[in-house]
Structure 1
């Protein structure tokens, strides 16, 4: 299972580069090393865009639909991310505190 996870995660990151994210952070159980047969990949994606929140998620899901492991993406703009950090939102604290950066644009 660990090999499938690592290979799939690598391929998902490659597929998502087409989406031109600034950063991708793996969070949740997979980031904590608790990945199991029923797990999905929780991804926090930072991207400059003017699209609506749900449309962003749909774009990501379209790009990762072919993979065996389900992906649960959350896509924030830099402005949304900055605002959420200032407001000390627990979700952002979890992503930053326990998440692992798996991609960062050069």
Structure 2
């Protein structure tokens, strides 16, 4: 399991994120977990939430995906926004023009990547 947490300034935040990643990996075996938004870009404030993109195979409906992951991550000590996409959905959106997804993939910080 590969993790990157050097970008986090607070060891408390790093520990909380490490625990969240561990729980997601154990329960869902994703391909990747990417931190994006203010925590990834070094602009977080007291009011910032943790933004995660989880890339994994799933047959669950989009509305159920984030809820399932959020349930596994309880208790949550940080406000979180979790996006869950399949590898196929990522590829399809990248073929079109999706600047939001492109920013996540280029500027986000990979917290976990499954070994190949």
What's the TM-score, normalizing by structure 2? Answer: 0.86
**1:25 alignment partner, one of 34, 39, 56:** 34
Shift of 1:71: 1.5
State the aligned residue count.
106
Q: Structure 2 matches for 1:55-94, cutoff 5 A?
A: 55-94=64-103
Question: Which of 40, 44, 55 is the aligned partner of 1:35?
Answer: 44
Give the corresponding residue for 2:4.
Answer: none
| Pairwise CA distance, 1:3 | 2.1
Q: Which segments of structure 1 move beyond 3 Å, counting only runs of 4 or more?
A: none
CA distance in 1, matches of 2:92, 2:35: 20
What's the CA shift string for 1:23-74, capped at 9, x where partnerless?
A: 0000000000122211111000101011111110111110112121121100
Taking only aligned residues, the RMSD between alpha carbons, in angstroms, comes to 1.2
Aligned partner (choices 12, 15, 37) of residue 7 of structure 1: 15
Normalising to structure 1: TM-score of the pair? Answer: 0.93
List gaps (5 residues or longer) in structure 1.
Answer: none
